[in-house]
Amino acid sequence: MPLSDTAARNAKPKDRPFKLADEKGLYLLIKTAGKYWRFDYRYEGKRRTLALGVYPEVSLKAARETRDVARKQLAAGIDPGGSRKAAKAARRGEDPSSFEVIAREWIEKRRKAWTPGHTAKVIRFFEQDAFPWIGKRAVTDILAPELLTMLRRIESRGANEIAHRVKQNCGRVFHYAIATGRAERNPIADLLGALEPLTVKHHAAITEPRAVGALLRAIEGYQGSFVAQCALRLAPLVFVRPGELRSAEWAEFDLDGGEWRIPAERMKMRSQHIVPLSTQALTILRELHALTGTGRYVFPGVRTNMRPMSENTVNAALRRLGYTKDEMTGHGFRSLASTLLNEQGWHRDAIERQLAHAERDAVRAAYNYAEHLPQRRKMMQSWADYIDALCCGGNVVAIRA
């Protein structure tokens, strides 16, 4: 039962400290010296506690709001306690020239332009592969050989792509340090060509029509959870990014209007994305709505409906169906659709817009998305009809747009 303000106000200290529980990890710790808000959470498998202030200076409402912010950080993979410590260090001016303080300051400046998932990934890379080696060092003292040693540690475990990403983000931190007057040059510039070349890996995808039909039939026969099966069935019909699919919220859908509007903050390119829904997609969503429609997420997690399903759910389901990571991935549904729609002759702009790709030149960027929307609606229904026929095992020749 949630804590009331009256109960918090009337609580009296006892011989030993005790707790008055609210909900979602929040509680009021009663001691002889006062009443203290605390939030218990788990991060990387360890139990941690965050202090949220003293009652009544911090009200019950304010404590809940702070707890909710911390829960959002956890959902994005960020440790709220670690984030607070770094912010306090920066505010106190504690070694303001250290790489870690400047890096965390730069991350906070960029947070609004990034998705929560990307923010969490950048922080994780820094915390695992940069801060332990150069975090406490003043940016002016860090030289190229020291950075190269750090990056080659990452390479040595076979994480070549991560090494390049850490190098890139370190370079951005040094640029930020220069812009804020705490450094004069960027030592990352001296590492040009020092790392092993990055081999671009494309997401595995099935694109041969008969094989696509076999995949769709396997999905129809999936024996796992109904929620996971619905995600598998919907993925080829909407071909959004896996993170956009698994985090879908019912509030984003207009089932009567046949439209899914994904808000800008959940999109990689930070602009709202419209997904026209075919009759087949609407059928799946209405079936699922009967099960999960009372909650926030279309595809809630197994353990709690307060969070979306795991990022590994779709890929794990594909493995269960017998498809290896070199044959098909959750991201591969985008490549599948892109390849076949281009082969069918649909307008490239309509395909690219539906994939929510960034525009690569000024002419395409100036194209009003609304001008593509009628064609995209037609394309999405035609596509759904086409893969329906593939699923039935027919020798399908799509009508060229």
Highest-confidence segment of 96-100, 143-147, 357-361:
143-147
Q: CATH no. for residue 174?
A: 1.10.150.130
Give yes or no: 331 in active site.
yes
Is residue 340 located within the same domain as residue 247?
A: yes
What's the distance, CA 190 to chain centroid?
Answer: 32
Out of 75, 108, 135, pick the residue that ends a domain.
75
Within the chain, what is the greatest distance between any pair of CA atoms? 80
**Which has the higher per-residue pLDDT, 76 or 67?**
67
Is residue 219 located within the same domain as residue 129?
A: no
Q: Does residue 396 fall inside a structural domain?
A: no
Is residue 273 located within the same domain as residue 300?
A: yes
pLDDT of residue 116: 77
Q: Which domain holds residue 244?
A: 209-391
Out of 38, 118, 124, 268, the active site residue is: 268
3-state secondary structure of 47: strand
**pLDDT > 70 fraction of the chain, expressed in percent and rounded:** 91
pTM of the complete model beyond 0.75: no
Mean pLDDT of 339-361: 84
3-state secondary structure of 368: coil
Is residue 237 located within the same domain as residue 340?
A: yes
Out of 104, 167, 331, 372, the active site residue is: 331
Mean pLDDT of 29-52: 90
Q: Does residue 397 fall inside a structural domain?
A: no
**What are the structure tokens assigned to 370, written together?**
């609304």
The answer on pLDDT for 231 being more than 70 is yes
**pLDDT > 90 fraction of the chain, expressed in percent and rounded:** 66
Is residue 363 located within the same domain as residue 230?
A: yes
**What are the structure tokens assigned to 261, written together?**
């509007």
Is residue 49 located within the same domain as residue 178?
A: no
Give yes or no: 303 in active site.
no
Is residue 218 located within the same domain as residue 279?
A: yes
54 — phi, psi (to 5°)? -110, 135
Is residue 326 located within the same domain as residue 228?
A: yes
The H or E element containing residue 127 is helix 116-129
Omega cis (within 30) before 242: no
Q: Does residue 263 fall inside a structural domain?
A: yes
Q: Does residue 398 fall inside a structural domain?
A: no
Give yes or no: 203 in active site.
no
Give yes or no: 185 in active site.
no
Q: Does residue 200 fall inside a structural domain?
A: no
**What are the structure tokens assigned to 285, written together?**
């969503």
276 — phi, psi (to 5°)? -65, 135
pLDDT of residue 368: 45
Q: Does residue 160 fall inside a structural domain?
A: yes
Contacts of 330 (CB under 8 A, 6+ apart): 235, 242, 245, 314, 315, 318
Residue type at 239 in one-letter notation: F
Is residue 65 located within the same domain as residue 147?
A: no
Out of 31, 50, 75, pick the residue that ends a domain.
75
Q: Does residue 197 fall inside a structural domain?
A: no
Please state, rounded to an integer, the average pLDDT across all residues of the chain: 88
Is residue 165 located within the same domain as residue 255?
A: no
The answer on pLDDT for 401 being more than 70 is no
**265 touches 272 (CB < 8 A):** no
Q: How many domains does the chain have?
A: 3
Out of 57, 75, 93, pick the residue that ends a domain.
75
Q: CATH no. for residue 63?
A: 3.30.160.390
Is residue 366 located within the same domain as residue 281?
A: yes
Out of 35, 241, 266, 376, the active site residue is: 241
Written as one string, the DSSP assignment of 258-312 is TEEEE-GGGSTTSS-EEEE--HHHHHHHHHHHHHHTTSSBSSB-SS-TTSBPPTT
Long-range contacts of 165-170 (CB under 8 A, 24+ apart): 165/125, 166/125, 166/126, 166/129, 166/130, 167/191, 167/195, 169/122, 169/125, 169/126, 170/130
Out of 367, 369, 377, 378, the active site residue is: 367
**Which has the higher per-residue pLDDT, 103 or 359?**
103
What's the distance, CA 152 to chain centroid?
Answer: 28
pLDDT of residue 362: 44
3-state secondary structure of 97: coil
Out of 334, 353, 372, 376, the active site residue is: 334
Q: CATH no. for residue 318?
A: 1.10.443.10
3-state secondary structure of 37: strand
CA nearest neighbour of 236 among 215, 208, 222, 266: 215
Out of 357, 364, 377, 378, the active site residue is: 357
- CA 150 – CA 167 distance, rounded (Å): 10
Written as one string, the DSSP assignment of 174-233 is HHHHHHTTS-S--GGGGGTT-SPPPPP-PPP---SHHHHHHHHHHHHT--S-HHHHHHHH
pLDDT of residue 200: 56
Is residue 171 located within the same domain as residue 29?
A: no
Mean pLDDT of 140-145: 95
- CA 123 – CA 108 distance, rounded (Å): 10
Q: Does residue 130 fall inside a structural domain?
A: yes
